[in-house]
């Protein structure tokens, strides 16, 4: 395109993926080019888009070109035959390929000058000759006539597409070739200007620099006017090729540009005036771009309502309140949530810890010290509910041990193969608290070694010794080794915490105690059953009678 578009003051090519300059809209990719041309009135001129199908030409913002005199569309090109002052403005060509959109915007300025502004530059010491860069004209009319001008003064050179320079510094200046040609039976003229220049020592071209904005968030009030300001430092030796503009997404904004000189440096100012701030300007990037062939820079402004902080405050306060409410709900219904999760999660019911039993049930049993409530709870209620209904496997003292087995080995081995220890407390658990016998069975101090958990020889009944030794071994494993979780269940009134050993009091303080009522209905023990299942490990139900119990 650089060779076939004459009379161009400067050309800037933008080809950015939309997530760099332009936001994504669904899954579409937007590619936008911006080019600028300065041409002379009375000369033929051609704008050419890329070689694509289904192109649409418009005059920005959305004017059809068929009604504009002197403008013709030929293929993918837009012809000015010839250009006049009324043709100044912006023109766009749009093409879609799949999910990609290609858009080129041409800014055209028509001047009332004989010779067009330069569109090409050659350094004199590296240039032997300059060429009239209007190849598309010669393709249309191979017999086109060529004349040359230096600084718009006629030269005695005709019908030559090249002009000799011979690397002479005396040849510095502007050289314009005029071509007279015939197109579709009409005679036209076209022209192209090249500047031949000389580089001085230390000559360097630098890219522009954005002064402001730089990714700013600004507060505005809906319905009021607002002004966006952009300032950029022009690079050294830019040769008038620096361009500055504003855009919002794919849309160019209306802006005014001026040049300000501060010291020895030039600055470009671009101002966008918004007469009324509407919702379309909020929460979107308004981007100022400064461009030069040596490089580019940009800055973004993000507009939010002036009351945004108050809005954030209430949103934050609502989120905090919602979080507190959520935590409270989770805390209050944690038992139900855990049980519900176990019900729907099959993985929660499987364990590979090598344990044989889900719980070891210890209670004081026997003829002398047995409790009707404890026996009913341990031998009737727990098997009917935990074993038959919910699929737990229990080892119940007084039911599952075999005759002739050594007491010590059975208890220690079975508890090591259990996941929980259920201790059933009755009023008998607190009897004779001051006797040496009771203290030896339920010590106030926690066991700290294997020697401390050995059964002491006393004249206490074997039933009470059995239950006491179960508790000592289980509590030692739970509190010292931390390998067994203890569940305390009170099945009758009269259990005084102060008369229990320190180990049990510690568990009551840290884990709590469950209370079961023997004469209550299933509904009356519903809360107890939920908390019992909550403290038990996950297990798969084996029967469908859970609704009857719940």
Q: Nearest CA to 242 among 257, 227, 264? A: 257
Residue matched to tokens 């002739």: 404
Arithmetic mean of pLDDT over the chain: 78
**Residues 99-119: pLDDT tens digits?**
777 888 899 999 999 999 888
Q: What is the pLDDT of residues 80-98, one digit of tens each?
A: 999 999 999 999 988 877 6
As a whole-number percent, the residues of the chain with pLDDT over 70 amount to 76
Of the candidate ranges 163-172, 362-371, 515-524, the one whose mean pLDDT is the lowest: 362-371
The single residue listed with the structure tokens 């040849």 is 171
Sheet holding 394-396, edge to edge: 394-396, 359-362, 420-425, 485-490, 514-515
Judging by beta carbons within 10 Å of its beta carbon (0-12, 13-18, 19+), is residue 249 exposed, middle or buried?
A: middle
Sheet holding 153-158, edge to edge: 120-123, 186-197, 173-183, 145-150, 153-158
- If we measure between CA atoms, which residue out of 379, 334, 385, 387 comes closest to residue 550? 385
Q: Which residue has the higher pLDDT, 175 or 432?
A: 175
Cβ pair 25, 19 in contact under 8 A: no
Nearest Cα to 317, choosing from 328, 309, 327, 306? 309
* pLDDT surpassing 80 at residue 458: no
Give the Cα separation of 415 and 412 in Å (integer).
5
Q: Is pLDDT of 302 > 90?
A: yes
């Amino acid at each position: 395109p650089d060779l076939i578009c004459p009379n161009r003051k400067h050309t800037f090519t933008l080809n950015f993926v939309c997530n760099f300059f332009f936001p994504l809209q669904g899954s579409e990719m937007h590619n936008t080019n911006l080019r600028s041309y300065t041409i002379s009135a009375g000369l033929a001129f051609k704008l050419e888009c890329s070689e694509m199908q289904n192109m649409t030409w418009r005059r920005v913002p959305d004017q059809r070109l068929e009604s504009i005199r002197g403008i013709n569309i030929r293929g993918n090109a837009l012809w000015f035959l010839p250009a006049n002052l009324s043709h100044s403005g912006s023109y766009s060509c749009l093409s879609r390929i799949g999910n990609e959109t290609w858009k080129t915007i041409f800014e055209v300025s028509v001047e009332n000058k004989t010779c067009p502004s330069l569109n090409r530059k050659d350094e004199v010491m590296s240039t032997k000759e300059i060429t009239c860069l209007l190849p598309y004209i010669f393709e249309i009319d191979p017999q086109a006539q060529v004349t040359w001008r230096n600084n718009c003064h006629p030269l005695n050179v005709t019908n030559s597409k090249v002009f000799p320079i011979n690397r002479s510094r005396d040849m510095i200046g502007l050289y314009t070739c005029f071509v007279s040609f015939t197109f579709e039976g009409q005679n036209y003229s076209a022209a192209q200007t090249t500047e031949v220049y000389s580089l001085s020592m230390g000559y360097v071209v630098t890219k522009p620099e954005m002064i402001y904005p730089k990714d700013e968030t600004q507060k505005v009030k809906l319905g009021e006017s607002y002004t966006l300001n952009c300032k950029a430092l022009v690079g050294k030796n830019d040769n008038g090729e620096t361009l500055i503009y504003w855009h919002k997404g794919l849309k160019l904004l209306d802006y005014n540009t001026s040049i300000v000189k501060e010291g020895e440096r030039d600055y470009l100012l671009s101002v966008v005036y918004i007469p009324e701030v509407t919702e379309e300007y909020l929460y979107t990037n308004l981007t100022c771009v400064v461009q030069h062939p040596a490089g580019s820079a940009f800055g973004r402004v993000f507009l939010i309502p002036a009351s945004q902080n108050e809005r954030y405050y209430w949103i934050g306060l609502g989120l905090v309140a919602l979080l507190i409410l959520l935590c409270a709900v989770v805390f209050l219904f944690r038992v139900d949530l855990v049980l519900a999760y176990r019900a729907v999660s099959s993985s929660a019911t499987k364990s590979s810890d090598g344990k044989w039993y889900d719980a070891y049930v210890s209670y004081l049993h026997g003829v002398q010290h047995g409790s009707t409530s404890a026996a009913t709870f341990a031998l009737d209620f727990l098997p009917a509910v935990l074993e038959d209904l919910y699929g737990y496997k229990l080892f119940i003292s007084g039911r599952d041990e075999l005759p002739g087995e050594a007491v010590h080995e059975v208890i220690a081995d079975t508890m090591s193969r259990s996941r929980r220890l259920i201790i059933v407390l009755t009023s008998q658990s607190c009897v004779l608290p001051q006797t040496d016998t009771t203290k030896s069975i339920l010590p106030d101090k926690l066991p700290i070694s294997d020697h401390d958990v050995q059964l002491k020889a006393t004249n206490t009944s074997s039933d009470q010794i059995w239950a006491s030794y179960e508790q000592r071994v289980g509590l030692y494993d739970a509190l010292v080794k931390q390998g067994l979780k203890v569940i305390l269940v009170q099945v009758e009134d009269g259990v005084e915490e102060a008369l229990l050993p320190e180990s049990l009091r510690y568990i009551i303080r840290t884990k709590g105690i469950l209370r079961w009522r023997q004469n209550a209905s299933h509904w009356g023990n519903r809360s107890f059953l939920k908390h019992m299942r909550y403290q038990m490990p996950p297990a798969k139900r084996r029967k469908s009678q859970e609704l009857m119990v719940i």
